[in-house]
Structure 1
């Protein structure tokens, strides 16, 4: 059993006072090999030392005695849609719903209030047949010692894009990430012209499921995910 301290910097917020779900899931899953599924149990607090416990096939993140999230090895059997062109998703991003009204405008991944190089600024818009897409130029600050984008930022990129594929929501509601299963099959480089897509899968009660994928500059699949989103009152975050 490994025990580490993990602090989610304010830079990586999603909703106010909470870490971006995809980023935090990626941090929890970091020590586990292969495809990993993470279930979030409570909002991840910002700028707070948390305890990450990990073994061979599972990991748990705690805030004191409160379980924030848990990860375990999983499998992902999905066929993503064909990768759209970079030019196609550039045009789609001008149809980004969050440009007009965004519940979390400072979200690290999709917040339009974040500056380039600070947030990811992945702003997906409709392409067709329920698919949304956005361009992504990873910033140099996201790279690891080998010069490739760190895995937790691939998790983050996959997160919000899937959520925008299952909108709109009834008035007064928002969504939070409940469960996230990710398979990383390649790597991205800072400045690479990446494409991120999302598409709806199913809707059951308060749960909305969606897929997402990140493609590299030559159209190769880098990572894919299945997300389960939970409808919550927007007032809970205000």
Structure 2
């Protein structure tokens, strides 16, 4: 049986793996382009069992309980609603709507504006389209292997920048329930990239979003589709909420 262990510093919530990074690691099991459903928060620094299924799919288990499923899917590409430059993204990061606010993802390895040694995908709204989020992405040494940004970090960027923008004014918390992504090419360690996220539909408690990572020429490097689920009232647990995603 294959096992995966996610390093403790790769957190989204303080005690769980960042959803995009976890999904990117799970995607390796089926060849890279994949759809991952996160059924429970993914624990850190423990052995996760991988059980292969039919059609190339797999289930990821912890203590005998399925916490995620992953299945291969066809490559795809999104067209972003705008093509910001890296400078635009740096400027947008200064407008991050949660600067100075403590919230469940305040220490996220990917998007925290204050996390030492984080990936720095700090998003802000576009001046042209206020419902679109943009963020800078540049690799630093801890996230590089063999001269390239580790693919799961692209998954992480696709995830964070796709947070539903309409939830930000109310500071409503939502978690990633499902993520589908395709990476078109490896990203060199010295590249400066831009992540762009936008909303595609909204349900009662679920929000569907899309995102891309663009290179300095505005070409698509990676594309993603996400389903976000709002936290239930305080009497419900985050685990129960994630399990309810459809």
Question: Structure 2 length normalisation: TM-score?
Answer: 0.86
Alpha-carbon separation, structure 1, partners of 2:137 and 2:92: 12
Residue of structure 2 equivalent to 1:119: 118
Map 1:127-206; keep pairs closer than 5 Å: 127=126, 128-129=128-129, 130-145=131-146, 147-168=147-168, 170=170, 173-206=172-205
TM-score, normalisation: structure 1: 0.89
1:96-149 CA distance string (max 9 Å, x none): 11214242211111112312xx2111111111322111111111222223x211
Match of 2:242?
A: none
Contact 1:166 1:199 in 2 (8 A): no
- Compare the two structures and name the one with the higher strand fraction: 1
Greater mean deviation of Cα atoms: 87-96 or 212-221: 212-221
TM-superposed deviation, 1:175: 0.6
Aligned residues: 231
Cα distance per residue 1:154-191 (max 9 Å; x no partner): 101111110153432646x4111000010111221223
Q: Of 13, 19, 41, which residue of structure 2 is paired with 1:15? A: 13
1:102/1:212 CA distance change after superposition, 3 Å: farther
**How big is the shift at 1:89?**
1.2
Deviation at 1:232, TM superposition (A): 0.5
Structure 1 residue aligned with 2:90: 90
**What's the RMSD between the two structures over aligned residues?**
2.0
1:38-91 Cα shifts (integer Å, max 9, x gaps)? 000111111111112346621221102111111112244643224211111111
Q: Aligned to 1:44, what secondary structure does the other structure show? A: coil
* Secondary structure of the corresponding residue to residue 11 of structure 1: coil
Residue 217 of structure 1: how far off its partner (Å): 2.6
2:49 is matched with which residue? 51
Measure the CA separation in 1 of the matches of 2:137 and 2:213. 9
Q: Structure 1 stretches of 5 or more lacking a match?
A: none
**Compared with structure 1, are the counterparts of its residues 227 and 135 closer, same or farther at alpha carbon in structure 2 (3 Å cutoff)?**
same
